[in-house]
């Protein structure tokens, strides 16, 4: 199948003010795409634009907004109508996301709601709003940034795992539903990535550390994402540690469950 061509494409990318989203915005614009770059923090979003060394026909159009707010979805839609007569959209990257660390039993219901709202419901509803514009494209792509934790669940990240499993399942269903219309749905599942992610965890003790089997820089994750989009991949799991976790969970789920089990929860539950 012919590769997807970013040159001249119109893209919407959420979570463009830092990390993977900022790097991917730059890489798409380097390839000649016009990128509507969405995030809440205006100074950081402005930096995404100012730190880009223009290399051609690409453009970055910053749009300040919270993706949990339907008003932001309408602003994005409106921006598309300013760009072309047919309000065409070629690529939607649902990248914005947040994490939370800590036992489910000790968390508030708001933590679950917030993580699900940003990581899953907003991505799904933004996609719903932008489907008519994607349908105007001759080669529409929806790229969802999931996580290896959307394939293999671990303790202390129950809300995050739930949100990324939801994104995974929804991506697979959407791919089947929209294939007959020529849509490509690409799910990218990074492992631990060096970004601002661990500085903006919801309701998480600031001293909490996350363990990982080796992390990637954000620009490497962005490059692998762009490569997956261009090569029309349906799903990519990034990093050797990430692949090990995902495939071990598929092949030996019982052993993985034993390996990941936390005995001290049982002790605590008995005490309380």
# residues contacting ligand NAP (CB under 6 A):
31
Shortest distance, position 211 Cβ to ligand NAP, whole Å: 12
Phi, psi angle pair for 147, to nearest 5° = -170, 155
CA separation for the pair 238, 106 (Å, rounded):
31
Give the residue with the Cβ less far from ligand NAP, 98 or 116.
98
| Residue 222 binding ligand NAP, by CB under 6 A | no
Which residue in 59, 68, 154, 265 binds ligand NAP (CB under 6 A)?
68
Beta bridge mates, 235: 187
CA separation for the pair 130, 115 (Å, rounded):
22
Dig out the tokens for 207 from the structure.
């001293």
Give the residue with the Cβ less far from ligand NAP, 66 or 181.
66
Shortest distance, position 41 Cβ to ligand NAP, whole Å: 3
Window 171 to 200, contacts with ligand NAP (CB under 6 A): 190, 192-193, 195-197, 200
All residues at 6 or more sequence positions from 153 whose CB lies less than 8 Å from its CB, including other chains: 161, 165
Shortest distance, position 189 Cβ to ligand NAP, whole Å: 7
Give the residue with the Cβ less far from ligand NAP, 32 or 241.
241
3-state class (DSSP) for residue 172: helix
Shortest distance, position 194 Cβ to ligand NAP, whole Å: 7
| DSSP per position, 139-170 | S-EEEEE--GGGTS--TT-HHHHHHHHHHHHH
Interface pattern 38-57 for ligand NAP (x via CB under 6 A): xxxx--x-------------
- What DSSP designation does 4 have? P
Phi, psi angle pair for 46, to nearest 5° = -60, -40
Beta bridge mates, 217: 194
Interface pattern 93-112 for ligand NAP (x via CB under 6 A): --xxxx--------------
| Residue 137 binding ligand NAP, by CB under 6 A | no
Interface pattern 197-216 for ligand NAP (x via CB under 6 A): x--x----------------
| Residue 27 binding ligand NAP, by CB under 6 A | no
CA separation for the pair 120, 185 (Å, rounded):
15
Phi, psi angle pair for 196, to nearest 5° = -80, 0
Contact footprint for ligand NAP (CB under 6 A):
14-21, 38-41, 44, 66-68, 95-98, 118, 145, 147, 190, 192-193, 195-197, 200, 218
């Amino acid at each position: 199948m012919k590769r997807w061509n970013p040159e001249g494409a119109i893209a919407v990318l959420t979570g463009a003010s830092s990390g993977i989203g900022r790097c991917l915005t730059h890489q798409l614009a380097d390839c000649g795409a016009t990128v509507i770059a969405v995030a809440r923090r205006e100074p950081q979003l402005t930096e995404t634009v100012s730190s880009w060394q223009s290399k051609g026909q690409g453009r970055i159009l910053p749009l300040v907004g919270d993706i949990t707010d339907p008003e932001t979805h309408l602003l994005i839609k409106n921006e598309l109508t300013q760009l072309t007569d047919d309000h065409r959209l070629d690529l939607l990257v649902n990248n914005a996301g947040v994490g939370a660390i800590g036992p489910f039993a000790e968390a508030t219901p708001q933590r679950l709601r917030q993580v699900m709202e940003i990581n899953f419901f907003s991505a799904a509803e933004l996609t719903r709003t932008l489907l008519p514009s994607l349908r105007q494209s001759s080669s529409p792509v929806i790229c969802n940034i999931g996580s290896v934790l959307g394939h293999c669940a671990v303790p202390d990240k129950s809300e995050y795992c739930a949100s990324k499993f939801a994104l995974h399942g929804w991506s697979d269903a959407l791919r089947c539903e929209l294939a007959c219309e020529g849509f490509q749905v690409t799910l990218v599942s990074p492992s631990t990535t060096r970004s601002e992610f661990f500085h903006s965890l919801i309701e998480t003790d600031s001293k909490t550390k996350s363990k990982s089997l080796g992390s990637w820089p954000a620009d490497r994750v962005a490059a692998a994402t762009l490569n997956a989009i261009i090569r029309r991949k349906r799903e990519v799991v990034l990093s050797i540690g990430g692949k090990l976790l995902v495939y071990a969970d598929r092949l030996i789920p019982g052993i993985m469950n034993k390996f990941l089990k936390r005995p001290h929860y049982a002790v605590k539950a008995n005490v309380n």
